[in-house]
Structure 1
């Protein structure tokens, strides 16, 4: 059920830092999300992340995550969503960074389903959106593109009532860092805590052409499913 905006803004106990003190601009939903988390070598990861961003660590470990979900109802404040532009499937490959003491994520890759929303998302956010053909059902996710290939079949299992500190560190991130220049600021986001479930894969095939030496994407260390979150974003 869709939550009132005030209810989302008032849920701040899970954040590492306060929400911005000016008005949000974007509303969007990240629905039916699959998280696959991988521990990686920090030296290899350092080569892929701009130097002005500090690699974040959990107990000395570096991580990347593949996140597959459906972007839904995307629209600026005081407008309404348009189905063709506002809903599309997305797969991103992200890692964990800090900048000026603010933890967030840096995207190594973002693949999106529809051409026009991909172009608009790239222009509006400055994030590295690229178009790829993506299809999904309630139990599958597939992408066959030049940069990556993904085939997932999964079963949602038990709800995780109390996520571990590591699970929270991997999922509760509220700053999206972009670009290779320090003067390019982050996009701040806010949402209620992710509702996480255990997930079982009956098929898992992931290949990234540019990141093949980073990790074996067929063997995630931690996996989650979530029905999704309602997201507010600031310019």
Structure 2
């Protein structure tokens, strides 16, 4: 683990600001990640994001993304992972914001597989975690709750060796903003750059009850797959 952490920390030339000047608090792995990206109208996005957060845009366009992955090896510094608590499937819906020139993400929804880890994650991070029925095989995701019904079936292709500006803008994000106007300090994270692969969507059925009026989730503008990243995170400043 020490060598893994050294490797993560030593690679930082891709960041647009310095890492926090204090010890990291969390380690976790985000594995087998599928990104689905959608353009959204600014007027619709304003209905979903708190006024104290500034939108971030790419060449004048705004985006939200469905991100499905598996959490592994979650642990607090100087502890060790416990399998039930440290490994679970997650699916979130996020958009792109910034504050004080720090581009990050704001979560509209986070669905996680296991009840107790979901409750703990919500309490410790302040992020909008909710428990859901999430299942997956290597290339298939299924989620079913009152507000969401999602089925994703995909295959992974070759590595994308020619990443464009939009690819990097959507994925290289190093802080997580919370829905708290009194405390706007983001959760800071760090990892090596994402390795992105082409993928093919064989079947896509997404119904977010709360957000269907704003987007056609079955028509993503762009999508990626990644084997994943090893992540360190800090407690809130």
What is the TM-score normalised by the length of structure 1? 0.98
Shift, 1:213, TM fit:
1.1
Query: Which residue in 1 is equivalent to 2:4?
Result: 4
Query: Counterparts in 2 of 1:1-235, with a 5 A limit?
Result: 4-235=4-235
SS of 2:34's equivalent?
strand
Give distance in 1, aligned partners of 2:184 and 2:16: 21
Shift, 1:182, TM fit:
4.0
Question: Quick check: 1:52–1:182 contact (8 Å CA) kept in 2?
Answer: no
Give distance in 2, aligned partners of 1:187 and 1:128: 13
What is the TM-score normalised by the length of structure 2? 0.97
Shift, 1:162, TM fit:
2.5
Shift, 1:101, TM fit:
1.2
Give distance in 1, aligned partners of 2:40 and 2:217: 11
Give distance in 1, aligned partners of 2:146 and 2:16: 37
Aligned residues between the structures: 235
CA RMSD of aligned residues (A): 1.3
Q: Give 5+ residue unaligned stretches, structure 1.
A: none
Shift, 1:150, TM fit:
0.8
- 1:2–1:140 CA distance, 2 compared to 1 (3 A): farther
Q: 89-98 or 13-22, which moves further after superposition?
A: 13-22
Shift, 1:217, TM fit:
0.3
> Where has structure 1 moved over 6 Å in runs of 4 or more?
none
Q: 3-12 or 222-231, which moves further after superposition?
A: 3-12
Give distance in 1, aligned partners of 2:199 and 2:19: 31
Shift, 1:93, TM fit:
0.2
- 1:41–1:142 CA distance, 2 compared to 1 (3 A): same
SS of 1:4's equivalent?
helix
- CA deviation vs aligned residue, 1:160-199 (integer Å, no higher than 9, x gap): 0131011000000000001231424210000001110011
Q: Give 5+ residue unaligned stretches, structure 2.
A: none
Give distance in 2, aligned partners of 1:36 and 1:176: 18
